[in-house]
């Protein structure tokens, strides 16, 4: 066995071992996911503290085009106790629900279930840091819901 073959076997073996562990996976680069429209599936919603405010993080996963399939992207929205017409979450919820809520309705994130045509853009961090892809608009529901 030549030394080139041996080093190739070692690289293959270590790659297979690394895939079995929980090493972090590198985030997508802007070349992997350029700004534009994609088909994405809603996966879940998580309330929490992000960027110093109470927000909800809606997680989507790209399904089309196939080259970008599996990439997870997020939509962040401030989560007020009493949303009004001026809040982003209210606007998103109304679009996903197909109409405004009735008085005292719970504005559950279940209305976001399904497949959506979304517009993605890369964030521009205010204080340095790395940019990340994010959903900037829900264009239309494709299926589900």
12-61 tens-digit pLDDT: 555 666 666 778 888 888 888 999 999 999 999 999 998 788 999 999 99
| Mean pLDDT across the chain | 84
pLDDT given for residue 2 in this prediction? 53
What is the average per-residue pLDDT within 92-97? 92
What is the average per-residue pLDDT within 68-95? 88
First-to-last C-alpha distance (Å) of the chain: 58
Q: Is the pLDDT of residue 145 over 70?
A: no
Do residues 94 and 100 make contact, with C-beta atoms less than 8 angstroms apart? yes
Taking phi first (over 0 means left), then psi (-120 to 50 degrees means alpha), and beta for anything else, what does residue 109 get? Answer: alpha
Would you say the C-alpha torsion 100, 105, 107, 113 has a positive or negative sign? negative
How far, in Å, CA of 17 to CA of 20, rounded?
Answer: 5
How far, in Å, CA of 104 to CA of 102, rounded?
Answer: 6
Residues above pLDDT 90, as percent of the chain: 43
Q: Tokens 């809603």 — which residue?
A: 42
What is the average per-residue pLDDT within 61-85? 88
Q: Is the pLDDT of residue 126 over 90?
A: no
| Preceding peptide of 105 cis, ω within 30° | no
120 pLDDT band, cuts 50/70/90, is: very high
User: What's the token pair of residue 53?
Assistant: 């405010």
What is the average per-residue pLDDT within 109-138? 90
Residues above pLDDT 70, as percent of the chain: 86
């Amino acid at each position: 066995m030549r030394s080139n073959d041996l080093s190739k076997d070692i690289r293959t073996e270590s790659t297979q071992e690394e895939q079995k562990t929980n090493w972090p996976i590198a985030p997508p680069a802007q070349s992997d996911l350029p700004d534009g429209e994609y088909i994405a599936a809603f996966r879940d919603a998580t309330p929490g503290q992000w960027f110093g405010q109470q927000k909800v993080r809606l997680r989507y996963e790209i399904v089309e085009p196939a080259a970008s399939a599996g990439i997870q992207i997020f939509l962040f929205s401030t989560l007020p106790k009493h949303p009004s017409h001026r809040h982003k979450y209210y606007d998103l919820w109304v679009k996903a629900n197909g109409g405004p809520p009735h008085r005292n309705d719970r504005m559950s994130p279940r209305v976001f279930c399904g497949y959506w045509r979304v517009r993605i853009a890369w964030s521009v961090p205010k204080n340095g840091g790395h940019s990340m892809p994010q959903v900037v608009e829900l264009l239309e529901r494709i299926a589900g819901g």
